[in-house]
Amino acid sequence: MQDEDGDNPDIDLEKPFTVHTYVAEEDFRPEIVEQLRQGLYYLGQLRGVSDLRVSNLQEQDWANAWKEHFQVHRIGERVVIRPPWREYEPQDDDLVIVLDPGMAFGTGLHPSTRLNMLGTEEAVKPGDTVLDIGTGSGILAFAAAKLGASKVDTVDVETVAVKATADNAELNGMSDVVAVELGSVGPGEPFWGEQYDVVIANIIARVLIELSEAIVAHTKPGGKIVLAGIIETREQDVIDAFTTAGATVINRRFAEDWVSLVLTR
């Protein structure tokens, strides 16, 4: 069981469930399997446990097979995502981002990302400074740069996201505009004390609420805040938190139970 947005997962230990674990080939030793079998034997004395199943997986089975299904796709009015292994001829005023998400969240296919992209297109103006919190693959940061932002700072608590954003910045020739740091927002975090014309955050509602004061503090008076990752049932909680912190909702978008908000400080 878990919340609708994937938060607070809870396993019901009274029901059957399966545990998967993976060991990299360079770390594998035959005694690991025997240790697992022994541990499962003792666990089986307390409750029913099925036999251990062991199989070999080729890395490309999970690391590369998904690429076959990752096509060029439009996720905003102007923004088009192109994987490096696909070709695309830009049309009219398309803003094309070359994106290899790797293991980071952010291909543009999730409703929250599409909604946040529309909000980003609405909020970012040429010359703006932008902060992207929880950047993932960097998809929203690169869109902001394509829209004319003069500086885009990004943070993420996941090292895989930081690497993906740095790699994608290089792919798009944006390393001089998009900066990425490991961390979040608040005292002691990267970029603390700086204010931006636009602050973007595509994170689940609980985290947005926890960071609401810091997000508003990073926003210039009159600046814009673009939020997404909000399941509809938590929308009012997010609005209340940001209203208390000093922001006002000026636009709302909705798709498939997900909400995106544009606010101003």
- Count of residues making up the chain: 265
Which position has the higher pLDDT, 227 or 25?
227
The answer to whether residue 217 is domain-embedded is yes
The answer to whether residue 41 is domain-embedded is no
The answer, yes or no, to whether residue 104 has pLDDT greater than 70, is no
What residues does 227 pair with on adjacent strands? 201, 261
Of 233, 224, 225, the closest CA to residue 258 belongs to 233
Report the distance separating Cα 240 and Cα 18, nearest Å: 39
Task: Decide: helix, strand or coil at residue 186.
Answer: coil
Based on C-alpha coordinates, what's the Rg of the chain?
21
Q: Find the domain containing 231 and state its range.
A: 63-264
Question: Do residues 116 and 260 make contact, with C-beta atoms less than 8 angstroms apart?
Answer: yes
Instruction: State the total domains in the chain.
Output: 1
The answer, yes or no, to whether residue 62 has pLDDT greater than 60, is no
Report the distance separating Cα 232 and Cα 220, nearest Å: 27
- Six-digit token string for 21: 């674990």
Task: Decide: helix, strand or coil at residue 79.
Answer: strand
The answer to whether residue 30 is domain-embedded is no
What residues does 115 pair with on adjacent strands? none
The answer to whether residue 202 is domain-embedded is yes
- CATH no. for residue 184? 3.40.50.150
The answer to whether residue 222 is domain-embedded is yes
- Six-digit token string for 261: 């908000």
The answer to whether residue 18 is domain-embedded is no
Which position has the higher pLDDT, 199 or 90?
199
pLDDT at residue 6, rounded to an integer: 63
Question: Do residues 258 and 115 make contact, with C-beta atoms less than 8 angstroms apart?
Answer: yes
Residues 6+ apart with CB under 8 A from 190: 153, 155, 181, 182, 183
The answer to whether residue 182 is domain-embedded is yes
pTM: 0.79
Q: Mean of the per-residue pLDDT values for the chain?
A: 88
Phi, psi torsion values for 135, nearest 5 degrees: -65, -25
Report the distance separating Cα 211 and Cα 227, nearest Å: 12
Report the distance separating Cα 135 and Cα 131, nearest Å: 9
Residues 6+ apart with CB under 8 A from 70: 83, 86, 107
**pLDDT range class, residue 31, cuts 50, 70, 90:** confident
The answer to whether residue 123 is domain-embedded is yes
- Six-digit token string for 226: 């673009």
